[in-house]
Structure 1
Amino acid sequence: MTAITIKKCCVDDVQTLQNISMETFIDTFKDQNSPENMKAYVEKAFNLKQLETELSNQTSEFYFIYADGDIAGYLKVNAGDAQSEAMGDDSLEVERIYVRKKFHKQGLGTFLMNKAIEIATEQNKEKIWLGVWEKNKNAIDFYSKMGFVHTGAHSFYMGDEEQTDLIMTRTLK
């Protein structure tokens, strides 16, 4: 049986966070986006300065998930003003939830989502929400299985291309 552990990240983890962020994002989206737009997004979102700023934000939290001691994925949640949309103080956003390809189909996404729900519950949030690319059917199916429903949409920019993210929400109270 695989030993699963989840560890909260700190600024000292920035290089590891950058590596896994780039790896998982590129693996997830490279086949549906131009190399130029991928490069532009990755350089903007995952540069060390940007990640250090996010790690230092008191209303954002990052977590690594490990499978038998090997880093397998990560989670980022936002509360308050750190949320990418103004959803109110009663909400927690799951901004990023990624599992490395070699760890897919092992239930690690469920572990990470349950961690996000646990955090939201501990913070007395009434709902948890996320944005997911409308073309990412596997993720949409996963979130639906986890009790999220489509409640809206917003724009997401991949380089210079405007894309649509579905907003999915799960009520906790």
Structure 2
Amino acid sequence: MENIQLKKVTLIDIDQLQKIGRQTFFETFAESNTEENMKEYLENSFSTEKLHSELSNTNSEFYFAVEKETVIGYLKLNFGASQTELKDAKALEIERIYVLKEFHGKKVGQLLYEKAIQIAKETKSDYVWLGVWEENHRALAFYKKNGFVEFDKHIFRLGNDEQTDIMMKLQLRVS
């Protein structure tokens, strides 16, 4: 844990971001989804063009968790209009926290999560919110343990499959 560094991702890191993004998403969801749906999602959501656009967006930030020069996980945050849904200027969205499977249980996700909360406090966000697939029990337990509460549901499309995400939020301060 002490040898894991967090590093802000920039455009020069786009290849590494694409690699870690595709690999962690695949590891997390491949066994629950069809090969076609996974292939389409990985190609589109982690295309060089899409990542270039996301990295160039001043209302989104990415951070790598790095151990001995190797990227082992990452975090994506959205502010204001870049949020996938609520688009609340007083909120911060954690769009993604993904960690390579071999590093699960080693507190890498917690480290990335704590970075998100630190940024939320620095930007004076009233609350942090996110969506978690209802079948991702590991992630749901993680966020509940960190004080998040369920407040809504929404549909997440993976190829031709409609899945339900549970929307959760953590109040940081009363506005």
Q: Sort the TM-score into its range (normalised by shorter chain).
A: over 0.9
SS at match of 2:89: coil
Contact 2:81 2:87 in 1 (8 A): no
RMSD: 1.0
In the other structure, the counterpart of 2:132 is: 132
Instruction: Tell me the TM-score normalized by structure 1.
Output: 0.97
* Aligned counterparts of 2:118 and 2:101: Cα–Cα separation in 1: 25
SS at match of 2:147: coil
Letter in 1 for 2:83: Q
In the other structure, the counterpart of 1:15 is: 15
In the other structure, the counterpart of 2:141 is: 141
Instruction: Tell me the TM-score normalized by structure 2.
Output: 0.96
Unpaired segments ≥5 residues, structure 1: none
Shift of 1:134: 0.4
Letter in 1 for 2:76: K
Contact 2:16 2:71 in 1 (8 A): no
Letter in 1 for 2:166: L
Contact 1:2 1:67 in 2 (8 A): no
Shift of 1:87: 4.1
Shift of 1:86: 2.1
Contact 1:152 1:167 in 2 (8 A): yes
Residues 40-55 of structure 1: matches in 2 within 5 Å?
A: 40-55=40-55
Contact 1:2 1:68 in 2 (8 A): no
Letter in 1 for 2:132: V
Percent identity between matched residues is 46
User: Moved runs in structure 1, 4+ residues, more than 4 A?
Assistant: none
